[in-house]
Structure 1
Amino acid sequence: MITIYHNPRCSKSREGLCLLEEKGISFETVKYLDQPLSREELQSIIQKLGIKPIELVRQKESLWIENYKGQTLSDDAIITILSENPKLIERPIVINGDKAVIGRPTEKILEII
């Protein structure tokens, strides 16, 4: 089962959702702003993405710039920040089994479906 971590207010996230619908693929939608992700869920997603936690951060968000930019933060601290501030998570994230991508650009989703 494919899962998309989705923010309805984000155009890229909506594009990712539309791509899956257009391809006729069944999927589960997780609105992670409504259902914040636990540290364990974030760690699992980061592992599937094969990235460092900082790469999952929307570093141009004012919340990040005003509170965290320029600080030396451990991976563990970044995961805590993301779990407490889901707005900072890059989106959309699409997971298919043990494979995952951040759907930017949207076509990256095609790599795992």
Structure 2
Amino acid sequence: MITVYGIKHCDTVKKALNWLTANNIAHQLHDYRVTGVDKHWLAQAEAQFGWENLVNKRSTTWRNLSDEVKATLSKQSALEVLFEQPTLIKRPIILQDDKALIGFNVKEYEACFKA
């Protein structure tokens, strides 16, 4: 079963979940807002995608960060902020077995799951 990391009310996450359902791919949602994330998973995601790609700069959480935090963001500080405020993590993320996807793109999902 595939675990999709995100927030259940996010439109992009909903698109990904709907695509997986339509393509009969067993999945479950790990909701950042409800369950949070652990530091080990966050380190794996950073190693796969880079910390810059994990930060959702279009989110309300990003807009609410202080200008100082935004200006001084580094790998170490980003991982701490992402751990403390997981709604800042770009979504959805699938990071399992040989699958690594961030965001939702139909062509990427097709290539990953129908190959």
Structure 2 residue ranges without an equivalent (≥5): none
Residue 56 of structure 1 aligns with which residue?
54
- Percent identity reads 26
SS of structure 2 residue aligned to 1:34:
helix
Report the counterpart of residue 97 of structure 2 in structure 1: 97
Instruction: Report the TM-score, using the length of structure 1 for normalisation.
Output: 0.83
Per the alignment, do residues 74 and 90 of structure 1 end up closer, same or farther by CA in structure 2, a change over 3 Å counting? Answer: same
- What is the Cα deviation at residue 68 of structure 1? 4.8
TM-score when normalising by structure 2: 0.82
Over aligned residues, Cα RMSD in angstroms?
Answer: 1.9
2:32 alignment counterpart:
32
* Contact 1:6/1:31 (<8 A) preserved: yes
Per mean C-alpha deviation after superposition, the further-off stretch among 61-70 and 1-10 is 61-70
The structural deviation recorded for 1:25 is 1.0
Q: Which amino acid aligns with 1:17?
A: L
**Residue 15 of structure 2 contacts residue 104 of structure 2 at CA under 8 Å; is this kept in 1?**
no
Quote the residue 1:74 is aligned against: 74
Which shifted more, 80-89 or 69-78? 69-78
User: Segments of 4+ in structure 1 off by > 6 A?
Assistant: none
1:54-98 C-alpha deviation (Å, 9 max, x unpaired): 211111224323425541222011011011111111111123413
Question: Number of matched residues?
Answer: 111
CA deviation after TM superposition for structure 1 residue 4, in Å: 0.7
